Amino acid sequence: MAKEVKFSLVFRDMWQSAGKYQPRVDQLVKVAPKIIEMGCWDRVETNGGGFEQVNLLYGENPNKSVREWTKPFHEAGIQTHMLDRALNALRMFPCAKDLRKLFYVVKKKQGTDITRIFCGLNDPRNVIPSIGYAKEAGMIAQAALCITFSPIHTVEYYVNLAKKFIEAGADEICLKDMAGIGRPDSLGKIVAGIKAYKKDIVIQYHSHAGPGFNTASILEVCKAGCDYIDCGMSPLAWGTGHADIITVQEMLNDAGFKVKDINMKAYMEVRTQIKEMMDDFLGYYIPPLNHLNNSLLVKPGLPGGMMGSLMTDLEENLEGLNRWKEKNNQPKLSTDDLLIKLFDEVAYVWPRVGYPCLVTPFSQYVKNLSLMNVMQMEKGKERWSLIADNIWDMILGKSGQLPGPVAPELVELAKSQGRKFETEDPQTYAPDCLDEFRAKMKANGWELGQDDEELFEYAMHPSQYEAYKSGKAKADFEEDLAKRKAAKNAPKGEIKAQDLKVTVNGEVYTVSIAPNDGSAPAGAPAAGAAPVAAGEGADVLAPLEGKFFLVKNANEAPVKVGDMVKKGQTIGYIEAMKTYNAVAADCDGQITAILVNPGDKVFEDDPIFKIK
């Protein structure tokens, strides 16, 4: 009898791998019936890491999105699944234990059946508790093996890791080949090894198309006994995304597997709706290069899910770097110049920070550290001269045990800065937090929400949730989208200034859209924000381009005008590429002015504080 292979549509990851944003809830609800009509899907990835956070960024409630989006699939008997970052849950840094437990309760009640639990370090201490919490909440716990290619990550390594997860109660195993650099033969051997240990364990394979291995890998894992294959579809297949269901279905059908047919009329209707979503606003956040496969990705091993945002990050950093080069009479770099320098630096940095699997958040950490190294060295500064706190936490062991040793140069740098390497369970660094957030919500007059889902959202994404509640997130998004539309629609070489009106929570804001020619003051307050008066003293300059925040989490107390600070003391943060980079006081003294507002965009060398 032919082996049956089932398909999962990774709808969340299709968008995550292409660009920055996800569809609105009205768009999701509209496309769901057509996805169901395609007839080939047994599972759909509906939510998880990235999906819910970006909902907040453009002013939409992710809890409403998840509930309405999962409902039609349940009614059709199609399972829904989400991506879950274990210790980090849906964000880039560790969560408290009480928040992690609430996470699974909320997501199960919102309609998510399966959670795919992964840790970029493959540290069982991060994954195994989540297996237990998910099962307690009634979810199917799918433990993921983060696949990469290094001297450490062997077939034996992965089979033994799967055995630990199965022994800990995992219902299923996922081979999460997030960069698509798993070699087909090795992946087949991993699946065979796991099936030899437990014949009836369900195995799902997830891979990205970019480097070019993944169709061969899909065939190999299916021959070894894989049960589910993650697929994408046009116009978001291939490139930094996933293999198209049409290709995979035809390939497996030819190989003798039992697979479901595709209703091509419904396929084309879904394809048309996705294109309409892109034309509406999502396409403005999808860099053209992300549509292409690229064998250059084999060397750095960067994941498809990150490439969507990487190209946007690259464009923004290139603009800042070329601004500096022009000011210093140096030749500018092209996007390709910077991309090759970045890929080469990733290959240099990755083994030196202990071979973390290049998946969220560690792919961002390695990429960000590499990009900062390139940016600093292009300006004549030292490598490793700008390392964000989140990245130090990874290097020092606070996120979990690194697969390999840290390079001596980084060990010495840590010692010179008084930093300590850690061996404790990473959960110990994230104390329980829900009571604190309950109190804050009560003080703000905010409802905890159905099944405490609003409490969960606030505790999971504090700064983004506050910006969503205030209307600032939507205003910032509308302003950015208007700029992108103006730039695209203007005649070549001409972007005219214009004023647009944006309505947020019933209030009308006037947003001025103009080309960035360096004449406008950088870091100006966001629409509706009160300006901060300048004081006396020396300027503290932004060390890089990004968004300014006074704190990076709710447990920190922000500095205020009038506070006395010490040289080297952290007084704020620049959030760039999903990491928070500390801004330190340049001298002892008193803060006489905070020149920008939390959430404002700043450029490198913009004044952000005054200290006297």
pLDDT at residue 308 is higher than 70:
no
pTM of the model: 0.81
Render pLDDT for 214-239 as a digit per residue (tens, 0 to 9): 999 999 999 999 999 999 999 999 99
* Whole-number pLDDT of residue 557: 83
The ranges assigned to domains in the chain are: 538-611
* Whole-number pLDDT of residue 307: 63
Cβ–Cβ under 8 Å, residues 168 and 129: no
pLDDT band at 5 (very low <50, low <70, confident <90, very high): very high
Render pLDDT for 122-156 as a digit per residue (tens, 0 to 9): 999 999 999 999 999 999 999 999 999 999 999 99
500: left (phi over 0), alpha (psi -120 to 50) or beta: beta
Cβ–Cβ under 8 Å, residues 594 and 406: no
pLDDT band at 191 (very low <50, low <70, confident <90, very high): very high
> Which structure tokens are listed for 567?
């040289």
Render pLDDT for 378-393 as a digit per residue (tens, 0 to 9): 988 899 988 988 899 9
* Whole-number pLDDT of residue 303: 72
* Whole-number pLDDT of residue 578: 66
pLDDT at residue 536 is higher than 60:
yes
Question: Average pLDDT of 425-441?
Answer: 95
Q: How far is CA 289 from the centre of its chain?
A: 19
More confident residue, 302 or 415: 415
What is the SS3 assignment for 576-599?
ECCEEEEEECCCCEEEEEECCCCC
pLDDT band at 313 (very low <50, low <70, confident <90, very high): confident
To the nearest whole number, what is the mean pLDDT of the chain?
89
Distances (CA, A) of 292 to 208, 296, 308, 453, 494: 12, 11, 12, 38, 29
* CATH number of the structural domain 538-611: 2.40.50.100
- Percentage of the chain beyond pLDDT 90 is 65
pLDDT at residue 531 is higher than 50:
no
Cβ–Cβ under 8 Å, residues 549 and 573: yes
Q: Which residue has the tokens 């604190």?
A: 436
Render pLDDT for 315-342 as a digit per residue (tens, 0 to 9): 777 887 888 888 889 999 998 898 889 8
Dist CA 61 CA 470 (whole Å): 13
> Which structure tokens are listed for 170?
């995992």
pLDDT band at 529 (very low <50, low <70, confident <90, very high): very low
